[in-house]
A and B are shown apart, each in its own frame.
Chain A
Amino acid sequence: MSVATDNTHDVHEGRRRPATVLSLWKEYVAKLRGGDVGSLPAILGLVALVIGFSSARPETFTKAFNFGNLIQQSAGVTIIAMGLVFVLLLGEIDLAAGYTAGTSAAVMCVLAVEHDWPIGLAILACLATGALIGTCIGLIVSRLGVPSFVVTLAAFLGLQGVMLTLIGEKGSIDSGEFVAKLNAETIAVWLGVIVAAALVVIYAVATFLGNRRRRRHGLTSQPTLLWALKSGFLAVLVGLIVYYLSIERSPNAHIKSIKGVPIALLILIGLALVLSFLLGRTKWGSHVYAVGGNAEAARRAGINVPMIQLSCFMLNSTVAAIGGIMLASYSGGVNNVTGGQTTLLYAVGAAVIGGTSLFGGKGRIVDALIGGTVVAVIANGMGLMNQPDRTKYIVTGLVLLVAASVDAISRRRAAASGRV
């Protein structure tokens, strides 16, 4: 459009005034007031929990050993939560994600241990099982229009049966050596430092170049000060984590030394980066948000809504299968409760606590990462305080309830301030 208009110049200049740290801060506060709190409550909650447990159990909770252990304990659930984000973004749910993880892992173990398949092939078969389960659920939801709640409830029961059949009479199958190492071993200290440094540098350079490009295009960009603050904060955070994980944390180091970044953390971060990239940078990711926000508008815009639904369910279940590998690895195999019990509830809880909306259209992969950490810290800290499972369940349940309420209230608030 090239349409001459009058007296708009002053307004343009006002609008294009470069953003300052102060103006961005004001914008952020306004956003929070409007009900868009994102993962802020989860981060604040996490800080409070860590301070609480650290002062209650200084001799165990803050130990480097426990820190490494916490990551490994929670890796499976957090990965399942990352997959669930795709389904939750559409406003759907997958109640079968836990048993999808268990079943896929069982397939892997049976093939690798009982049929002597090479481990690489067995892992591929595990992922394929997840993808197949997701395809079935996705087709029924998107083509037949059966609510995902019902479809995945049926799958929850059915897959539990499949998993028990795969495990057989013995009640458990071994995971094999390679898989067992995944969620137990660490990488060399120097390698951890290099990976961490590379991550920080890539982040800083990429955001710097992005800002410069936006400035050249005449678009509003992040002030350099804010960029420096963010990059600096990331560097400090990553540095602290890697430093802490590089301390010798074995209780009896002369028998077996444990130090360095756990492989589980690398898998978590790597997967989070890949999934965030898919969601944030590709056309497909934009369409996922569009379908979650207004499926009819997306359809009218020519987006293939059933295809988006199907692909989200497939991706979700495939990621759940990866979570299953981590679960099997942590407990050295698959047994009749792998992926059962609290797995699914903790995974959904992780995503929601992190700030993913149950109403669809809002959520990020890091939400699952942050929420997963919250859930893990609660479970771990309560365990160290010798609280029985019953208390752990009640507390986690309450936290989930609070998170879901924050979600609903922020929606109401947004509606009240005229933001539908």
Chain B
Amino acid sequence: MSSGEPLLELRGVHKSFGAVHVLQGVDLTVRPGRVTALVGDNGAGKSTLIKGIAGIHPFDEGDYAFEGGPVHVKGPRDASALGIEVVYQDLALCDNLDVVHNMFLGRELTKSGLVDEDTMESRARETLDGLSVRTLQSVRTHVAALSGGQRQTVAIARAVLWNSKLVILDEPTAALGVAQTEQVLKLVRRLADRGLGVVLISHNLNEVFQVADDIAVLYLGQMVGQVDAATTTRERVITAITTGHVNEGDAA
């Protein structure tokens, strides 16, 4: 795997919600062509970190660099303009809309000023076929009528629909069955192999060791360390997650 220029580089980012200091000077590096797993206990601040990257809860302070240059991400549009796509933990789907409109949410295609339903439907169909989603009867089904796993797939399909450079997935396999989980992990790997940067948040260390190239451990709003998956072990990662300390020789 190439490990050239970092795609995303965060240095000392902070985020508070009122009096709660959720992120306390976090560093994170994501390289293109690599899967970076972000792990940490419940409430460690993983979702908050990626919401900061996505611009929906912008960081209070800290440096945010993308493709080598400093950028200002103050809203979701800034992030998507850079080529950052996020699959949120709560999926962020509109139940009252069909699959097509959810996949193009906020970025509907238009032809002479009007929503181009046909092209949107074809592209949604192609993307879902590419993810080998077999259980979805029609892309015109309202999302409310889908199963948890199907909803998850729609959220993922939305992220890969665009020509993105960085795809972030917040616990994408939490609601999935065995086969679907395998599919998603394969997809994560394929995205990285195509040269994209991928951030995968997961509580399942089997998954993490199966696909990740780098592992970043967050503990109570601080980055314990970012290590190469090939040179560390499950035990060390578990220790880091639970105690916030890295064993000797592990720190990146």
- Looking at B86, B105, B114, B130, the one whose CB has the most chain A CB atoms below 10 A away is B105
The answer to whether B107 touches A301 (Cβ under 8 A) is yes
The answer to whether A286 touches B92 (Cβ under 8 A) is no
CB-defined contacts of A386 to chain B, threshold 8 Å:
none
The answer to whether B92 touches A1 (Cβ under 8 A) is no
Size band of the interface chain B makes with A: 35 or more
Given known contacts A1-B127, A34-B145, A282-B113, is B92 in contact with A11 (CB within 8 Å)? no
The answer to whether A293 touches B113 (Cβ under 8 A) is no
The answer to whether B122 touches A283 (Cβ under 8 A) is no
The answer to whether A300 touches B56 (Cβ under 8 A) is yes
| B96 contacts chain A at the CB level, 8 A cutoff | yes
The answer to whether A3 touches B54 (Cβ under 8 A) is no
CB-defined contacts of B130 to chain A, threshold 8 Å:
1-3, 5
| A44 contacts chain B at the CB level, 8 A cutoff | no
| B65 contacts chain A at the CB level, 8 A cutoff | no
- Roughly how many angstroms separate A5 CA and B93 CA in the complex, as a whole number? 26
The answer to whether A361 touches B121 (Cβ under 8 A) is no
- What 0/1 readout, one digit per residue, does chain A (226-252) give for beta carbons within 8 Å of chain B? 000000000000000000000000000
CB-defined contacts of B118 to chain A, threshold 8 Å:
213-214, 217, 219
The answer to whether B113 touches A296 (Cβ under 8 A) is no
The answer to whether B106 touches A287 (Cβ under 8 A) is yes
- Shortest CB-to-CB span from B38 to chain A, Å, is 19
- Shortest CB-to-CB span from A296 to chain B, Å, is 7
- Roughly how many angstroms separate A303 CA and B107 CA in the complex, as a whole number? 9
| A63 contacts chain B at the CB level, 8 A cutoff | no
| A157 contacts chain B at the CB level, 8 A cutoff | no
| A224 contacts chain B at the CB level, 8 A cutoff | no
- Roughly how many angstroms separate A292 CA and B160 CA in the complex, as a whole number? 25
- Looking at A12, A214, A282, A302, the one whose CB has the most chain B CB atoms below 10 A away is A302
Partner of A286, one of B86, B108, B187: B108
Interchain pairs with CB closer than 8 A, number: 110
Given known contacts A298-B106, A300-B54, is B96 in contact with A361 (CB within 8 Å)? yes
| B94 contacts chain A at the CB level, 8 A cutoff | yes
The answer to whether A219 touches B131 (Cβ under 8 A) is no
CB-defined contacts of A36 to chain B, threshold 8 Å:
142
CB-defined contacts of B131 to chain A, threshold 8 Å:
1, 3
CB-defined contacts of B134 to chain A, threshold 8 Å:
8, 11
Segment of A49-57, A137-145, A412-420 engaged in the interface with chain B: A412-420
- Shortest CB-to-CB span from A254 to chain B, Å, is 51
- What 0/1 readout, one digit per residue, does chain B (126-159) give for beta carbons within 8 Å of chain A? 1101111010011010101101000000000000
| B101 contacts chain A at the CB level, 8 A cutoff | yes
| B88 contacts chain A at the CB level, 8 A cutoff | yes
The answer to whether A301 touches B115 (Cβ under 8 A) is no
Partner of A297, one of B75, B94, B132, B142: B94
The answer to whether A293 touches B96 (Cβ under 8 A) is yes
| B97 contacts chain A at the CB level, 8 A cutoff | yes
Given known contacts A1-B131, A282-B113, is B108 in contact with A289 (CB within 8 Å)? no
Chain A, residue nearest B130 (CB) = A1
Partner of B108, one of A283, A294, A298: A283
- What 0/1 readout, one digit per residue, does chain A (1-43) give for beta carbons within 8 Å of chain B? 1110100100110010000000000000000001010000000
The answer to whether A420 touches B95 (Cβ under 8 A) is yes
- Shortest CB-to-CB span from A358 to chain B, Å, is 13
Report B63-91 residues with CB < 8 Å from chain A CB: 75-77, 80, 86, 88
Given known contacts A1-B131, A34-B145, A286-B101, is B138 in contact with A292 (CB within 8 Å)? no
- Roughly how many angstroms separate A3 CA and B95 CA in the complex, as a whole number? 28
The answer to whether A283 touches B110 (Cβ under 8 A) is yes
| B11 contacts chain A at the CB level, 8 A cutoff | no
Given known contacts A220-B138, A297-B93, is B127 in contact with A302 (CB within 8 Å)? no
CB-defined contacts of B54 to chain A, threshold 8 Å:
300
- Shortest CB-to-CB span from A419 to chain B, Å, is 4
| B190 contacts chain A at the CB level, 8 A cutoff | yes
- Roughly how many angstroms separate A287 CA and B92 CA in the complex, as a whole number? 14
- Roughly how many angstroms separate A11 CA and B136 CA in the complex, as a whole number? 10
The answer to whether A3 touches B94 (Cβ under 8 A) is no
- Shortest CB-to-CB span from B77 to chain A, Å, is 4
Given known contacts A286-B115, A301-B105, is B94 in contact with A361 (CB within 8 Å)? yes
| A388 contacts chain B at the CB level, 8 A cutoff | no
CB-defined contacts of B121 to chain A, threshold 8 Å:
217, 219
Partner of B144, one of A1, A213, A292, A420: A420
- Shortest CB-to-CB span from B56 to chain A, Å, is 5
- Roughly how many angstroms separate A134 CA and B105 CA in the complex, as a whole number? 26
- What 0/1 readout, one digit per residue, does chain B (24-63) give for beta carbons within 8 Å of chain A? 0000000000000000000000000000001010000000
- Roughly how many angstroms separate A361 CA and B114 CA in the complex, as a whole number? 20
| A290 contacts chain B at the CB level, 8 A cutoff | yes
Chain B, residue nearest A218 (CB) = B122
- Roughly how many angstroms separate A394 CA and B150 CA in the complex, as a whole number? 46
CB-defined contacts of B106 to chain A, threshold 8 Å:
287, 290, 298, 301-303
Chain B, residue nearest A295 (CB) = B94
Chain A, residue nearest B109 (CB) = A283
- Shortest CB-to-CB span from B249 to chain A, Å, is 38
- Shortest CB-to-CB span from A67 to chain B, Å, is 36
The answer to whether B88 touches A418 (Cβ under 8 A) is no
- Roughly how many angstroms separate A301 CA and B155 CA in the complex, as a whole number? 12
Given known contacts A283-B110, A286-B115, is B187 in contact with A302 (CB within 8 Å)? no
B residues with a Cβ closer than 8 A to A are: 54, 56, 75-77, 80, 86, 88, 92-97, 101, 105-108, 110, 113-115, 118-119, 121-122, 125-127, 129-132, 134, 137-138, 140, 142, 144-145, 147, 160, 187, 190
17 sampled A-B residue pairs with Cβ under 8 A: A1-B127, A1-B160, A3-B187, A3-B190, A5-B132, A36-B142, A217-B121, A219-B122, A282-B113, A289-B96, A289-B97, A290-B94, A290-B105, A293-B94, A293-B96, A419-B95, A420-B95
